[in-house]
Structure formats: structure tokens, C-alpha cells
């Protein structure tokens, strides 16, 4: 009897527990609901009790970023001037697709959102075209032709591309894109040699670590690491296109003469490149943790200054890594990175950087207003105000006398102390507010003398450049990072093709193939690099790769290429 | 013999108004749980409709096009899905066996500790990891198992390895790392229920055994084990139904491209296709499949228990 009772008691307890657990499981797919609730508070946040009404908006961007403090000083100054502020949130841990997917599943969005094809498909974005005429700063941000490019198939404008818009004159100093990066100490040690090919690059790294196994403080050097986490595995996979002298179309090669697409995953160069990585992996030059490290671990590793080289996009590592190298005093050791535009052999002309002089309009994405926003006009007014000259300067330069000084010639500059301060993470969070994923200008400030941002101010750029980078650039006869890689014009009106493939879904055979190819590459490229027998590993990889039907994908890309070329010809004819 | 006796015990009370009145408080509380269960467990099942549609969020459940079983067919033609079923089952079974055995062994060992203070502190310390979230546990694991982590350090210093071993680069270790993580996190917590079952065993039995000359080992075998057997059976049954819940966070957080073929579970598949690729239908279909298998497993296990004359759920 007693036994029965005890058991019954347990059963009730356990059943109750499992009931709760069970519910948790079945709700799994809707788990995004909580996250998006944040979007609601925003538009209604007008404070009636206060003296001045400050509207509070919310924003989410599907990229990693650092949240700033709620009492951020410049954000507050801007809010008092324009009567609105915006709480920005960024990706944490999940991928952009997952974040969008959870928002869509929940059906609640923040006021502003970084646009994507799937958000548009889900009906989450507000059409902006009928409003635009009321907001001159936004309207003038692009020409009518450019706005037409941003229109979707239904003729409406849903987002405002925020980058690449140049005011008056291009002042770019930094190679913001992908390259093989190398620490200046390696180049200095070798007497600043010309490094043009992948083989020369790895040869240099090998010789350097052989002679300098550790840093000055005894930390072992890592010759070459590869970031391979989730979508960031482009650091491993897309080099073959650049090595063959093609620009970053991202998913295919476009032959500018025959106007046909080709696959860079199966070229002889691809095999050479992965074969080289395999060889270097066996020699211990490639970091053995490459394929298992997370993005955070990768950044932490780079921040210690022990990694000599890697492939990456500047924006993916430089901001956090350069600042921590500066704060730790590792600049004197030469731990900053400079880009090298490598190719597979010396006779191939590199196109690591391809851009047009007025800036590249990437019409495929931008900041959008979501259907959950209760005050669309207020939201657009906010963007409009952010583009006014005074606010632009606050966003990019900060507060006069605190973050920059004005010289007698009217040119802005920063003191060393200011430069140190703005590199500090805590200061950035409490003081600076650049609203970095809202529309902004590059090039010149509205005054026509200064650059739009400190990084582009020629003198400020040079003065703030770490000494080791200055020496290195000088040794190569360059004045900016850009000069290290050179600049090419955009290859044609289709560029960049990734803007199409990025939005492909399983709805078409090509999209399904594209997603499967990604899956296979993600798994197999590390395997190939680590393979005991490279030839065998490569052949196996090619077999499973072919099974994804890349030809379906290429066919759809060819269609899109033809469509884009046709579109460009039509608009020229008009 | 045992069977007839049990039947007598289970004899049902007739439902009469008088009986209902007598139990009104109980019924009231039960009703609350029924309502809760209905709202949170049954209403969301309407979403299962998605699996039979070519579901598009902007059209909604009411206007999406019905496609019958096409999504299920697509699911079972996908080699990746068959692989995630294998992974889920394998990790589920390994986890179940490991955490289950460890919890029982741990509870019995702990019960044998004589010092009350020692027992309490070990118990408290051992169940603390249960309250850590997986992101922290996987962070610790990632550090501990990295090339310069404590495990490699120990293996190198003791001469077992010459070169640091990158544990996360080899598919063959992955399931065991996951099982280890589960054991580390949940053993203490799971042991609590067995410990309380042991406490409820009549002390007279132990005294009687001692008088008969039974040592510790004999007492464990002949009194403790049979005493907690009903609890073990019930928990085993419930856990069998949970085998396909082999986990999501731990595999998601520890996985990487190299071990993808063994690390992805059904839940990750659902996330990847349902949420990331916007194909809600296929995600739902995979979820339904998982539920169906879980129900089947629990019914089968229950029948087996019934035949063996053991405790059971229903």
C-alpha cells in the first residue's frame, strides 16, 4: 500500500513537471515572440509628462554590433535636438536568417529593421515611396534613377540603402573589403618585399614563424588562422574568385567578355588554393583550431596580436581588433594588419577592390520601416533629421572640444588623448552614437572642407595611423590602405551578383541547390584542408558537390545576369 | 498472484454526485491544469496544418495552398533528414543511458555517505550545474577541450598525447562529448528524485537486514534497489518518450562544419529549414514526425512494462 502511495505521489509530481516541459517543446517554433515584443514599446514611447516630447524608436539590424548604453551622451544630445531617439539592437549568437525567421514567426517587429528579401515576402515592410516627397533629406539622398533601382517588382520602395553614398568627393582611405591580411611586423622583418601570389605569402609566413616562434611577451605566434563559423566561412571559401583575378561577385564568376557565369568552386585555382591550405595545415602553419573556433574566439585570438595573417573583410575584424591592439600597446610591435591583393600567379591582375567613383549603390538592402511601427511619419522624420548636416557631424565626429578640435584652417583634428579615448569600448558605449546602420554619407562633410568622418580626413587618418602601419605604407609607396590593393572600376551593371544569390530560397531548384552547396562546402572544405590524402579528399568532395546540382544554381544566376544586363541596356536606351 | 492483488488496489470508486462534491477541491485544481494544458498544449496544435500546406507567412494558415503529404515526401527523400534522425536517436539513447545510470549510481553512493554534512554539501554542489544555462556549459567545455585547455594540458603533461588533440574536429568524439556534458550537468539534479525515493524506504527493513547479517552491499542489492525500482521504471518510461528530445542548444552551440554530419538533431533541422529558410511547412512536418515517434516509443515501452508486470504510466 505504502509503496503505491509513494509512487502515486511521484507520478503526479513528475507528470506535472513533464507537462510543463512538454509545452515548452511544442512552443519551440514560436519562441521568437518574446524577442519581438521589444518593438512595441518604441513608437508609443512619447513622454507626455516631460517638457519636450522625445519619441523613442526601436531598431534591429541583422548584423553583429555593439549596443550602446541607454544614457549615451551623444544620443541624448541628438534626441534633444530632433526630438527622437532610437534603441538599436544587433545580432547576438544567431544568424541573420534565424533572427528574421523568428521575427516573422512572431509577427511583431521593431520600428526600424535591416531589410531582407524574406521580410519583404512576409509583408513586414512598409512601402515608403508615397512618403518620400515630404522628407527632402531622404529624397535627395538618391537620384530618381537610383530610387528606381531600389524599387521592387511591385513598383514600391521598401528600404533606404544606407551605405556607399558619397558627398561631393570620395575620401575613402581604408580597404573595407576582403583581402589576405598580414601583420606589418612580418613585412618589416622581411624588408618589405613585394608579395603578389598566394605561394609567396605562405612562404613568407613560414620563414617568419620559423625564426620568430613567439611574440615579445612569449605568446606563441599563430601563422595563419581561418574563420569558419556559420556564414562567416567566406573567409575560407571565396578566395578562389579573387585569386583568379575576379571581383567579389560572391557566388559566381562573371566573364565580362562572354557575359556568362561560371562556378569558382571547381576551378583549377580552387584546387590549388585548398591544396595549398592542406599542405600548410600539415606543416602546422594553419591554426589547427581554425575550423572549430567561434567568431568570438577568433576575435579574441586576433586581439592578442599573435595571429600573423588571415583572409577576412576589414569590417569583420578591424574595428574591435585594432582598438584592442592599440589599448594593449601592441602597435609598436607591429601587430596591425595591412591588406595584400594576392592572386594565384603574378600575371593575373587583382580585383580585390572594385567600386565606382560615386560609390556603389547596393540597392538590395537598407533600413526599412516595419508594419509594427505605429508612427511611420515620425520614423521617416527621424531618418530625415539624422541626415541634416549638424546631426551628421555629431554622428561621425562627436562633440566639438570633446571628441575633436577645429584647427585655424577650419580642419578638424583629434588629439592623441582623444584618439585613445574613442578607441575605448566603454567610452564608445557611453558617449559615441553613430547610428551606424542608418543612412549616412561618406566623402565630405557638408562644410565642403572636412571629411564626413575622422577615418576619411586625410591628415587625421595619417596622424591616427599606427606608426608601424605608416612605416609599412611608406615602404610600399602608399598613403592609404587602398593604395596597397589598388582600385578597379565595377566590372559591369550586373555587379555584385551576390545581391541576388543572398536572397535565394528553397522555392526554386536553383535556390535549393545553392543552399545545399553551402551546406556541403561548409562541411567538406575543412575536411579537405585537414585530409591526410588531399587528392582523395578533393575527389570525394567534388563528388558530393556535384550531387547538389550546382548547374541548377548556375542556370538561375545566368538568367539573373541576363536580366540585369538587359535592364541596364533598357535604361541607357531611355 | 501479484496481478490480481494489484487489480483490487486499483478498483475504481463509482462516480456519484456525492463523490464529486467530496472531491470538489481536487476537481477544481485539476480543472485549472486541464485548461492550462488545453490552451498551451492543444491549441497550438492547429499550427500542424502548416505541414500540409505550402505555407507562406503573409497568406497565413487560412489562405495558404494545401499540398497534402508532399512536404512529408520531400522530408523523407532528403538524405540530410535521415541523418539527423540517426543523430537524434543515437545521442538520445546515449544520453538516456548515461544520465540514467549515473543518477541512480550517484544517488545510491550518496545515500551511503554517513556524515550528514558531507552528504548535504556534495548533493548541493552536484546539482548546481543544473542551473547553468547551456551557453555557459558549452563555453566551459569549449575552453576545457580546446588545444590549450585543461584536458589537453593534462593529457600532454601525463604523456598520453604528444600533440594537442582538437576534440571538436573529430566526428567520432562528438556524441560522447555531448553525453559527458549532459551527465555533468544533470546527474546531481536527477539523483534528487532517487534520493527521496530511498528516504521513503522503511528503516525497519535495513535494521532487520542488519540483524540478519547483511553487509552494505547486500543491503543495497536487496533493499535499496527493490525499494526504488518503481521510481526507476516510471522515470525510464518517461525518458524513453523523451529520447528524441536529444537536445538542441548543446549540439547547436558545440557543433561546427566539421562535425555537422553527426551533430545536427531534428530540432536543429527544424530551425534551419523552418526558420532560417522560411520553409515553415517542412519544419512543421519534421516536428510532427518527431512527436509521432515519441508517442509510439512511449506506448511501446509502456506495453513492455505492462507485460513484465512492472510499474507503468497508463
pLDDT tens figures, A346-356 = 999 999 988 76
Q: Which of A309, A266, A296 is nearest to A521 (CA)?
A: A266
Q: What is the pLDDT of residues B253-296, one digit of tens each?
A: 888 888 888 999 999 998 888 888 778 888 899 989 999 998 89
The alpha carbon of residue A335 is apart from the nearest alpha carbon of chain B, in Å, by 22
CA atoms of B96 and B130, how far apart (whole Å): 16
Predicted confidence (pLDDT) at residue A21 exceeds the cutoff of 80 = no
Question: Any chain A CB within 8 A of the CB of B147?
Answer: yes
Mean pLDDT throughout A263-284?
Answer: 95
Quote the pLDDT of residue A182.
96
User: Cβ separation of B276 and A98 shorter than 8 Å?
Assistant: yes
Strands A253-255 and A84-91: unpaired
pLDDT band at A487 (very low <50, low <70, confident <90, very high): confident
Mean pLDDT throughout A53-73?
Answer: 90
Question: Any chain A CB within 8 A of the CB of B56?
Answer: yes
CA atoms of A249 and B87, how far apart (whole Å): 36
How much is the pTM? 0.77
Q: Which of A306, A363, A311 is nearest to A493 (CA)?
A: A363
Q: What is the pLDDT of residues A398-414, one digit of tens each?
A: 999 999 999 888 889 99
Quote the pLDDT of residue B61.
80
Question: What does the DSSP 8-state code read for residue A204?
Answer: H
Q: Which helix (H) or strand (E) holds A297?
A: helix A295-303
The answer to whether the complex's ipTM is over 0.85 is: no
Q: Which of B234, B247, B244 is nearest to B293 (CA)?
A: B244
Q: In 3-state terms, what secondary structure has residue A433?
A: coil
Name chain B contacts of A289, Cβ cutoff 8 Å.
Answer: 146-147, 166
Question: Any chain B CB within 8 A of the CB of A26?
Answer: yes
Instruction: State what percent of residues in chain B have pLDDT above 70.
Output: 95
**Which of 526-565 (A) contact B at CB < 8 A?**
526-527, 530
Question: What does the DSSP 8-state code read for residue A474?
Answer: H
- Chain A residue with CA closest to B286: the answer is A29
User: Please, which residues have CB within 8 angstroms of residue A335's CB and are 6 or more apart in sequence?
Assistant: A183, A184, A185, A305, A325, A468
CA atoms of A339 and B54, how far apart (whole Å): 47
User: Cβ separation of A26 and B44 shorter than 8 Å?
Assistant: yes
Q: In 3-state terms, what secondary structure has residue B87?
A: helix
Number of H helices and E strands in chain B, helices first, is: 17, 2
Question: Any chain B CB within 8 A of the CB of A515?
Answer: yes
| A25-39, A146-160, A409-423, A504-518: segment of lowest average pLDDT | A25-39
**Which of 57-116 (B) contact A at CB < 8 A?**
57-58, 80
**Which of 95-124 (A) contact B at CB < 8 A?**
95, 97-98, 101-102, 104-105, 107, 118, 121-123
Q: Which of B147, B238, B273 sits opposite A14 (nearest CB)?
A: B238
pLDDT band at A32 (very low <50, low <70, confident <90, very high): very low
CA atoms of A573 and A568, how far apart (whole Å): 9
The alpha carbon of residue A161 is apart from the nearest alpha carbon of chain B, in Å, by 23
Question: Any chain A CB within 8 A of the CB of B302?
Answer: no
- Chain B residue with CA closest to A229: the answer is B256
The alpha carbon of residue A296 is apart from the nearest alpha carbon of chain B, in Å, by 11
Quote the pLDDT of residue A38.
38
pLDDT band at A52 (very low <50, low <70, confident <90, very high): low
| A42-46, A510-514, B3-7, B303-307: segment of lowest average pLDDT | A42-46
Q: In 3-state terms, what secondary structure has residue A409?
A: coil
Strand partners, A84: A55
Mutate to test the interface with A, among B67, B78, B275, B294 (most CBs of A within 10 A): B275
Q: Which helix (H) or strand (E) holds B85?
A: helix B79-112
pLDDT band at B11 (very low <50, low <70, confident <90, very high): low
CA atoms of B261 and B255, how far apart (whole Å): 10
Q: C-alpha cell of A101? A: 525567421
Name chain A contacts of B145, Cβ cutoff 8 Å.
Answer: none
Q: Which of B9, B200, B245 sits opposite A6 (nearest CB)?
A: B200
In A98-229, beta strands by DSSP E: 112-114, 159-160, 165-167, 178-183, 222-224
- Chain A residue with CA closest to B257: the answer is A523
Q: What is the pLDDT of residues B106-137, one digit of tens each?
A: 999 998 888 889 999 999 999 999 999 999 99
Question: Any chain B CB within 8 A of the CB of A525?
Answer: yes
Average pLDDT of chain A? 86
Question: Any chain B CB within 8 A of the CB of A279?
Answer: no
Instruction: State what percent of residues in chain A have pLDDT above 90.
Output: 56
Q: What is the pLDDT of residues B56-87, one digit of tens each?
A: 777 778 888 888 888 899 889 888 899 999 99
Question: Any chain A CB within 8 A of the CB of B293?
Answer: no
CA atoms of A393 and B136, how far apart (whole Å): 41
Amino acid at each position: 500500500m505504502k509503496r503505491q502511495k509513494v509512487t502515486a505521489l511521484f507520478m503526479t509530481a513528475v507528470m506535472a513537471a513533464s507537462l510543463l516541459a512538454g509545452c515548452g517543446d511544442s512552443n519551440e517554433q514560436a519562441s521568437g515572440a518574446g524577442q519581438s515584443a521589444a518593438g512595441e514599446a518604441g513608437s508609443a514611447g512619447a513622454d507626455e509628462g516631460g517638457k519636450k516630447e522625445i519619441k523613442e524608436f526601436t531598431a534591429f539590424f541583422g548584423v553583429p554590433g555593439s549596443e550602446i548604453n541607454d544614457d549615451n551622451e551623444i544620443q541624448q544630445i541628438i534626441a534633444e535636438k530632433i526630438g527622437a531617439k532610437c534603441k538599436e539592437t544587433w545580432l547576438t549568437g544567431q544568424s541573420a536568417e534565424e533572427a528574421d525567421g523568428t521575427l516573422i514567426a512572431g509577427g511583431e517587429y521593431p520600428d526600424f529593421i535591416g531589410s531582407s528579401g524574406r521580410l519583404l515576402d512576409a509583408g513586414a515592410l512598409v512601402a515608403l515611396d508615397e512618403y518620400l516627397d515630404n522628407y527632402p533629406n531622404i529624397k535627395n539622398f538618391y537620384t530618381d534613377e537610383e530610387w528606381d533601382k531600389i524599387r521592387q517588382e511591385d513598383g514600391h520602395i521598401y528600404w533606404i540603402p544606407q551605405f556607399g553614398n558619397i558627398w561631393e568627393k570620395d575620401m575613402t582611405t581604408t580597404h573595407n573589403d576582403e583581402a589576405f591580411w598580414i601583420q606589418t611586423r612580418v613585412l618589416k622583418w622581411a624588408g618589405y618585399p613585394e608579395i603578389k601570389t598566394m605561394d609567396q605569402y605562405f612562404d613568407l609566413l613560414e620563414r617568419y614563424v620559423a625564426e620568430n616562434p613567439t611574440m615579445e611577451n612569449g605568446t606563441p605566434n599563430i601563422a595563419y588562422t581561418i574563420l569558419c563559423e556559420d556564414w562567416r566561412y567566406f573567409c575560407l571559401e571565396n578566395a578562389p574568385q579573387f585569386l583568379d583575378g575576379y571581383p567579389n561577385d560572391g557566388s559566381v564568376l562573371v566573364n565580362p567578355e562572354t557575359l556568362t557565369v561560371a562556378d569558382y568552386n571547381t576551378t583549377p585555382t580552387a584546387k590549388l588554393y585548398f591544396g595549398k591550405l592542406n599542405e600548410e595545415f600539415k606543416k602546422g602553419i594553419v591554426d589547427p583550431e581554425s575550423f572549430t573556433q567561434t567568431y568570438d574566439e577568433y576575435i579574441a585570438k586576433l586581439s592578442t596580436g599573435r595571429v600573423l595573417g588571415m583572409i577576412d573583410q576589414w569590417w569583420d575584424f578591424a574595428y574591435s581588433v585594432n582598438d584592442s591592439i592599440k589599448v594593449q600597446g601592441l602597435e609598436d610591435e607591429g601587430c596591425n594588419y595591412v591588406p595584400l591583393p594576392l592572386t594565384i600567379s603574378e600575371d593575373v591582375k587583382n580585383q580585390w577592390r572594385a567600386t565606382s567613383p560615386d560609390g556603389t549603390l547596393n540597392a538590395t538592402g537598407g533600413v526599412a520601416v516595419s508594419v509594427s511601427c505605429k508612427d511611420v511619419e515620425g520614423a521617416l522624420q527621424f531618418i530625415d533629421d539624422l541626415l541634416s548636416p549638424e546631426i551628421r557631424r555629431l554622428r561621425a565626429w562627436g562633440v566639438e572640444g570633446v571628441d575633436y578640435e577645429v584647427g585655424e584652417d577650419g580642419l578638424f583634428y583629434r588629439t592623441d588623448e582623444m584618439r585613445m579615448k574613442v578607441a575605448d569600448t566603454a567610452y564608445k558605449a557611453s558617449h559615441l552614437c553613430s547610428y551606424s546602420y542608418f543612412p549616412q554619407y561618406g566623402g565630405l562633410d557638408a562644410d565642403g572642407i572636412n571629411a564626413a568622418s575622422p577615418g576619411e580626413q586625410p591628415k587625421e587618418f595619417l596622424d591616427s595611423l599606427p606608426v608601424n602601419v605608416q612605416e609599412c605604407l611608406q615602404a610600399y609607396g602608399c598613403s592609404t590602405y587602398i593604395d596597397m590593393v589598388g582600385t578597379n572600376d565595377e566590372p559591369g551593371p550586373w555587379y555584385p551578383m551576390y545581391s541576388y544569390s543572398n536572397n535565394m530560397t528553397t522555392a526554386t531548384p536553383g535556390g535549393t541547390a545553392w543552399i545545399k552547396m553551402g551546406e556541403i562546402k561548409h562541411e567538406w572544405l575543412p575536411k579537405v584542408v585537414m585530409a591526410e590524402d588531399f587528392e582523395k579528399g578533393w575527389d570525394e568532395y567534388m563528388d558530393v558537390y556535384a550531387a547538389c546540382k550546382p548547374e541548377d544554381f548556375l542556370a538561375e544566376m545566368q538568367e539573373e545576369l541576363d536580366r540585369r544586363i538587359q535592364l541596364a541596356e533598357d535604361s541607357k536606351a531611355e | 498472484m501479484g496481478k490480481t492483488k494489484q487489480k483490487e488496489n486499483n478498483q475504481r470508486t463509482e462516480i456519484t454526485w456525492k463523490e464529486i462534491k467530496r472531491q470538489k477541491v481536487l476537481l477544481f485544481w485539476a480543472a485549472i491544469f486541464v485548461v492550462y494544458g488545453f490552451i498551451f498544449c492543444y491549441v497550438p496544435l492547429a499550427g500542424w496544418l502548416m505541414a500540409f500546406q505550402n505555407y507562406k507567412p503573409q497568406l497565413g494558415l487560412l489562405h495558404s495552398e494545401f499540398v497534402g503529404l508532399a512536404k512529408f515526401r520531400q522530408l523523407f527523400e532528403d538524405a540530410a533528414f535521415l541523418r539527423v534522425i540517426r543523430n537524434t536517436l543515437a545521442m538520445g539513447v546515449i544520453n538516456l543511458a548515461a544520465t540514467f545510470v549515473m543518477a541512480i549510481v550517484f544517488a545510491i553512493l550518496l545515500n551511503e555517505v554517513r556524515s550528514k554534512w558531507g552528504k548535504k554539501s556534495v548533493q548541493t554542489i552536484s546539482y548546481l550545474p543544473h542551473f547553468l544555462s547551456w551557453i555557459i556549459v558549452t563555453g566551459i567545455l569549449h575552453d576545457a577541450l580546446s588545444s590549450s585547455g585543461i584536458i589537453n594540458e593534462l593529457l600532454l603533461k601525463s604523456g598520453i598525447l604528444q600533440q594537442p588533440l582538437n576534440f571538436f574536429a573529430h566526428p567520432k568524439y562528438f556524441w560522447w562529448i555531448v553525453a559527458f556534458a549532459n551527465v555533468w550537468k544533470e546527474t546531481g539534479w536527477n539523483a534528487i528524485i532517487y534520493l527521496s525515493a530511498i528516504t521513503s524506504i522503511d528503516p525497519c527493513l535495513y535494521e532487520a537486514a542488519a540483524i540478519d547479517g547483511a553487509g552494505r552491499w547486500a543491503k543495497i542489492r536487496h533493499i535499496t534497489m527493490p525499494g526504488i525500482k518503481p521510481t526507476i521504471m516510471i522515470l525510464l518510461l518517461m525518458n524513453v518518450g523523451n529520447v528524441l528530445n536529444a537536445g538542441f542548444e548543446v549540439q547547436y552551440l558545440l557543433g561546427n562544419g566539421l562535425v555537422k554530419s553527426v551533430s545536427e538533431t531534428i530540432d536543429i533541422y527544424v530551425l534551419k529549414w523552418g526558420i532560417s529558410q522560411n520553409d515553415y511547412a517542412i519544419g512543421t512536418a519534421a516536428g510532427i514526425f518527431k512527436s509521432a515517434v515519441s508517442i509510439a516509443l512511449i506506448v511501446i515501452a509502456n506495453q513492455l512494462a505492462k507485460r513484465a508486470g512492472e510499474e507503468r504510466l497508463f
